Amino acid sequence: MIEIIPFKAVRPPRDKAGLVGSRPFYNYKKHILNAKLEGNPYTFLHVINPEFKAGDKTKPNTIERFQKVRNKYEEFINEGILRKEDKDKFYIYRQITPSNTFIGLIAGVSVQNYINGEIKIHEHTLTEREKTFCKYIEVCRFNAEPVLLTYKDNEIIDSLFKKYIHTRSEYEFSTTDRIKHDLWLVESEEDIRLFQKTFQEISSVYIADGHHRSASSVLYAKDNPDNPLAQYFLAFFIAESNLKIVEFNRTVKDLNGLSEEDFLNALKQFFKVIPHGDKPYVPNEMHSFSMYLNDNWYQLITLPGFIDTQSPVGTLDTQILSDTVFEKILNIQDLKNDKRVSFVEGTQGLEKLKWMVDTNKAKVAFALHPVSIEQLKNIADTQNIMPPKSTWIEPKLRSGLTIFEF
């Protein structure tokens, strides 16, 4: 039973929404971030990066830094760049990209659902990061970016979405990444009750993106039991069929002292190796990999003995690649921290992998087939954990459009 609540969002007025909403600051290259901060006084990046041009600098992840975030946030409110609703509402948000349309519901969700295991996870969280995020919430007292949660497709929820998307949206703007954004306000008490009743009948949802934000919200709730709003956190609910899971590809800087010939021979222990010459191979099924090495593309088909069909994790291509090529051939034991490894989201295509090898930023590159929603759910349902960087999930949400205040 998933418990959701409407809330009084702090959000920009209609005319400034496109200027305020931002991606997280770590998604921007430094020169682009500086240009946005220099050229746009309304961007929410000023709130989450409050020391732009400041004379006195603070250390990252400190109370002093978080207090500056809070101060900048209050400055945005005082200037009218952000305003708080006078009534609790849900928010329907849609992104239209060149290749997909994403639509879902923004709401507060109960931390008790996380504690009870009804919000299911597929990634480990780091205790120190949880504590840091909790400290951030304690000082700033808001969630600005929703956790991405996915649920089994539901006809009632779909019908509610259809009801609203035929009306004028509160926000309608496009961003330079060629994405159109729409936001509708749900203030009808009847529709609010129907959304809540329908989610109460859903037994579980899955975190697609935002494991640390979810876990830290639970810590904050436990530290603030007398604050009713602290028992919820900001979430964006999207149907499973509408979620897009993209592969996370890998590059490696060296061959662990092996010659290219020896490396190719070593691969034959685990894979059928099929040369493709200068024709890129895109993995079109599970357990089949693409590899780029010295101007040549290869298809690697996993031999049956190296697929652990008894384990949900053992069937993941990210795990197979780690167990065979990375650990046994390249001696990479800690995928997350080994500096020889880089991760490239699949949205950048095979061209990015080829470029990294051709410019000597890597020696070899591997492209994978995306994890399916069924695999993700199976991992979560069996309380297993995916290897690092197994998925790149879309939509990527913007910060600052519907802020949840505690």
pLDDT in tens, 282-297: 999 999 999 999 999 9
Closest CA to 124 of 404, 385, 403, 400: 385
What residue ranges of the chain are covered by domains with CATH 3.30.1760.10? 248-390
- CATH code of the domain occupying 248-390: 3.30.1760.10
Q: Distance between CA atoms of 406 and 403, rounded to whole angstroms?
A: 10
pLDDT beyond 80 at 26: no
* Torsion angles phi and psi, residue 405, rounded to 5: -95, 145
pLDDT beyond 90 at 388: no
Report the pLDDT averaged over residues 377-404. 94
pLDDT at position 335 is 86
At 111, list the tokens: 């931390």
Banded model confidence at residue 229, pLDDT cuts 50, 70, 90: very high
pLDDT at position 42 is 97
pLDDT in tens, 328-372: 999 999 888 899 999 999 999 999 999 999 999 999 999 999 999
More confident residue, 212 or 25: 212
pLDDT beyond 80 at 56: no
pLDDT in tens, 61-82: 999 999 999 999 999 999 999 9
pTM score, whole prediction: 0.93
pLDDT at position 113 is 98
pLDDT beyond 80 at 55: no
Banded model confidence at residue 125, pLDDT cuts 50, 70, 90: confident
Q: Where are the beta strands (DSSP E) in 271-376?
A: 271-277, 288-293, 296-302, 341-345, 364-367
Question: What is the Cβ-side half-sphere exposure of residue 398, based on CA atoms within 13 angstroms?
Answer: 27
Residue written as token pair 């005319």: 15
pLDDT at position 142 is 97
